Structure 1
Amino acid sequence: MEDYSSEDDWEHRFEEKEVVKVQEDPEDNKRDWTGLPSELLSEMLTNLHHPQARFFFHKVCKYWDSIEDPKHHCPLISPTLQLQSQWLVHKDTYFGTFCKFFHPFYPDRYALHDIPDLAHTVLLHSNNGWLLMSRGQKTLFFINPFTKERVDLPETEHSFGEWKSAIFLSDPTSPDCKVFGVVSFLDNWAHFFTIHRGENSWVRHIFSDLSPRMFQSECHPVFHNQKLYCLGKHGGMGVFEFNPEAEESKYSVHEVLCSPLEDETFESYLVECEGELMAVFLSYMGTKISVVRLDEERMEWRKVESLGDFMVFISVGTSFARKKTVDGMENKIYFPRLSGDYTVFYCLATERYKTFGNNFCQKDLYETREQLNCCWTEPSARTSTSPQQLHWLPQHA
Structure 2
Amino acid sequence: MEETATSTTSMQQERTGWSSLPADLLVDIVDLLPWSSHPRFAAVCKHWRSAVSPFYPGWLTPVLLNAVDIGCTNLRYYSPYHHKIFEVSSELETPNAKICCTRGRHLTLCQQNDDEITVAHVDLVTGVIRDSYPVDHDSFDFVIYDGERRRMFGISAVGVLQVVRAIQSDAGGWYRWEFSEFSPDEPKIIIASPMTSPVIHRGLLYLLGVDGRLAVYDDGRHEQGLVVLDKPKGFGGLDCDDCYLFESDEGELMAVLMGRRGAPVRVVKLNEQEMEWEEVESLQGRALFTGTPTTMMVKTNFEWMQNKIFVPRLHSWPESLQVYLEEREGELAFVPVSTAPVEQDGGGTREMGIWSCGLEPQPSSSSEFWETIKFYHSIWVDFSN
Work out whether the TM-score is over 0.5.
yes
Counterpart Cα distance in 1 of 2:233 and 2:119: 37
> What per-residue deviation string (whole Å, max 9, x for no partner) do you get for residues 195-238 of structure 1?
22115111112545667842000111111111111111011111
State which of 327, 343, 346 in structure 1 corresponds to 2:357.
346
2:98 counterpart residue number? 122
| Offset of residue 328 of structure 1 | 2.8
Counterpart Cα distance in 2 of 1:238 and 1:76: 47
* Residue 204 (1) aligns with residue 179 (2): yes
1:297 counterpart residue number? 273
Q: Unpaired segments of 5 or more residues in structure 1?
A: 1-74, 354-360, 382-397
State which of 153, 160, 163 in structure 2 corresponds to 1:192.
163
State which of 124, 130, 145 in structure 2 corresponds to 1:168.
145
Counterpart Cα distance in 1 of 2:151 and 2:292: 20
2:180–2:223 CA contact under 8 A, matched in 1: no
Return the structure number with greater relative CO, CA threshold 8 A, min gap 6.
2
State which of 197, 213, 217 in structure 2 corresponds to 1:220.
197
SS of the counterpart of 2:369? coil
> What per-residue deviation string (whole Å, max 9, x for no partner) do you get for residues 51-87 of structure 1?
xxxxxxxxxxxxxxxxxxxxxxxx9745xx3224310
Counterpart Cα distance in 1 of 2:289 and 2:237: 20
1:165–1:182 CA contact under 8 A, matched in 2: yes
Alignment of 1:1-397 (within 5 A): 77=55, 81-136=57-112, 137-156=116-135, 158-161=136-139, 163-170=140-147, 176-186=149-159, 189-198=160-169, 199-207=174-182, 213-218=189-194, 219-243=196-220, 248-249=224-225, 251-257=227-233, 259-260=235-236, 264-273=239-248, 274-341=250-317, 342-349=353-360, 351=362, 362=366, 365-379=369-383
Q: How many residues align?
A: 288
| Offset of residue 118 of structure 1 | 3.7
| Offset of residue 150 of structure 1 | 1.9
1:312–1:332 CA contact under 8 A, matched in 2: yes
Amino-acid identity (%)? 22
Letter in 2 for 1:196: I
RMSD between superposed Cα atoms in Å: 2.9
TM-aligned CA distance change 1:350 to 1:101, over 3 Å: farther
Q: Please list every run of at least 4 consecutive aligned residues from structure 1 whose deviation after the TM superposition is greater than 3 angstroms.
A: 75-78, 206-213, 246-250, 349-353, 361-364
Q: Unpaired segments of 5 or more residues in structure 2?
A: 1-52, 318-352
| Offset of residue 90 of structure 1 | 0.8
Letter in 1 for 2:163: F
| Offset of residue 303 of structure 1 | 0.9
SS of the counterpart of 1:126? strand
Counterpart Cα distance in 1 of 2:60 and 2:373: 26
1:192–1:205 CA contact under 8 A, matched in 2: yes
| Offset of residue 365 of structure 1 | 2.4
